[in-house]
Amino acid sequence: MGIDAAYQKCINPDCGARFDCGQVLFKCPSCGELLDAQYDWDRVEVPGKLSDFGRRWADRDNRLDFSGVWRFRELLDFCDDKYKVTIGEGQTILQQNDAVAKYADMKPGCLYLQYEGLNPSGSFKDNGMAAAFSHAKLVGATSSACASTGNTSASVALYAHSCGLKATVFIGSGRVAFGKLSQGMDYGAQTIQIVGDFDDCMRQVQDVCTKLGLYLLNSLNPFRLEGQKTIMYRIIEGLGWELPDWIVVPGGNLGNSSAFGKAFYELKQLGLIKRIPRMAIINATGADTLADLVNNKKLAWNAGRVGQAIIDDYYADLTARNFSPHTCASAIEISRPVNLKKCLRAIDICNGVVRAVTDEEILDAKAVIGKYGLGCEPASAATIAGLRHLRAEGVISADERVACVLTGHPLKDPNITVNYHKEKLGKFSNPPIEAPNDLDEIIKLIR
């Protein structure tokens, strides 16, 4: 079957070094660039059409068919089934939502929300962890680690304890939302709070993993991104095996956007789709490295020859200014995204655009998604805020079919939500009303 057909490959076209999937590598040992999981597709038995995957719903007593990741296993078949880890991830919903569509100035029937907060740990990360922990099992890892703005740590902690690995998570002190912090501790991970931000944690964890031989679960790990490709397969599935016109996704460390671009590229290559949807990646203005580099500095994939000097200058300036990103959307409070180059490739594949939205826009959009949908955490709401920009600019038309990826559950960050409503921070604030302990007075208050 397919597993011998899988290998790791450097994304740098001037290097292109290949490695076996049995090796634990998070950067190319030859040139230091990012690695992809790749497949010799002629040696993989992929179904003739995407809808064939839908048949697996009938076999949900098979744990791999139940998983919303492994249901699509031929499209990410890098290990034998016996290594494949699942805790029931990917049972997520694509909801058509006309009230949120109206807020985003889209026509009825055109806006879809992909609720990845419905995963076991409450975020999209579980898609990636199912795949990455499978690779960890393949290579016999016993200890794992990650840096995180919170959701990765929650997901790593949950998967590690489910499959018998130790987990250490690195978080920036005071930078992680309460729900996420509570999960890491509850699921039994060792939590190291570093005096610094996510970018500091990301730097430290790579060195710690190298020195101590821990298995790294950040999205530098190419196998994690293989799991995240399935979010796109499920959106297509949710649309009756049809394609959306646009995918809108928040941009932080840029793992999702990279994975989505790769997913569509491969589906096209395999003849399973005829066109590739466009993608909009949304930063917060307080952490807008991608938006700035792409829109102002004109950084582009350029067939893999990315302007490294532009990136180096940009990061040198951040360092000189002692810059640390700040946004209420703590999940995407990142200024040195590790998947930058893969994301540029995805922008190239999907004819993508990048925008940045303010915290005020994020919070209002989040309240609308809460009021009319199933809710989400702040970073996820950046999608709807970004869509409003793209509608106002006319980049997206009101009658195009748009799928926004809502990456995390509303209970991840209760403080932000309570604060928005109680402190009347926005147009949609819905504060609690103080009442005396008196029936008549209480009745007068009910609207």
Binding residues vs ligand F0G (CB under 6 A): 123, 148-152, 219, 250-256, 331-332, 377, 379-380, 407-408
Question: What token pair was written down for 180?
Answer: 């996420």
Output 184 or 277, the one with its CB closest to ligand F0G.
Answer: 184
Output 135 or 138, the one with its CB closest to ligand F0G.
Answer: 135
Q: State the minimum distance, in angstroms, from the CB of residue 3 to ligand F0G.
A: 26
Output 123 or 289, the one with its CB closest to ligand F0G.
Answer: 123
Q: State the minimum distance, in angstroms, from the CB of residue 416 to ligand F0G.
A: 12
Output 2 or 153, the one with its CB closest to ligand F0G.
Answer: 153
Q: 51's torsion region: left (phi>0), alpha (psi -120 to 50) or beta?
A: alpha
Q: State the minimum distance, in angstroms, from the CB of residue 145 to ligand F0G.
A: 12
C-beta separation of 401 from 248 below 8 A = no
Q: State the minimum distance, in angstroms, from the CB of residue 39 to ligand F0G.
A: 22
Output 252 or 277, the one with its CB closest to ligand F0G.
Answer: 252
Q: State the minimum distance, in angstroms, from the CB of residue 380 to ligand F0G.
A: 6
Output 335 or 380, the one with its CB closest to ligand F0G.
Answer: 380
Of 77, 105, 64, 81, the closest CA to residue 2 belongs to 77
Task: Calculate the CA 360 to chain-centre distance.
Answer: 22
Report which secondary-structure segment, H or E, holds 153. helix 151-163
What is the DSSP secondary structure assignment for residue 295, as one 8-state letter?
I
Q: State the minimum distance, in angstroms, from the CB of residue 188 to ligand F0G.
A: 18
Query: CA separation (Å) from 117 to 34, 107, 388, 407, 412?
Result: 28, 25, 22, 6, 9
Ranges of beta strands (E only) in 242-320 are 246-250, 278-284
Q: State the minimum distance, in angstroms, from the CB of residue 58 to ligand F0G.
A: 32
Q: Which residue is nearest to ligand F0G (CB)?
A: 252
What is the DSSP secondary structure assignment for residue 293, as one 8-state letter?
I
Sheet holding 278-284, edge to edge: 93-96, 111-115, 402-406, 246-250, 278-284, 353-357
Output 194 or 398, the one with its CB closest to ligand F0G.
Answer: 194
C-beta separation of 219 from 131 below 8 A = no
Q: State the minimum distance, in angstroms, from the CB of residue 252 to ligand F0G.
A: 3
Which pairing describes strands 18-20 and 6-10: parallel, antiparallel, or unpaired?
A: antiparallel
Output 74 or 199, the one with its CB closest to ligand F0G.
Answer: 199
Residue 389: HSE in the Cβ half-sphere, 13 Å Cα cutoff: 20
Question: Can you tell me whether residue 358 is helix, strand or coil?
Answer: coil
Output 2 or 337, the one with its CB closest to ligand F0G.
Answer: 337
Of 233, 280, 290, the closest CA to residue 402 belongs to 280
Report d(CA 139, CA 117) in Å as an integer. 29
Cα 278–Cα 48–Cα 119 angle in degrees, nearest 5:
55
Q: State the minimum distance, in angstroms, from the CB of residue 18 to ligand F0G.
A: 25
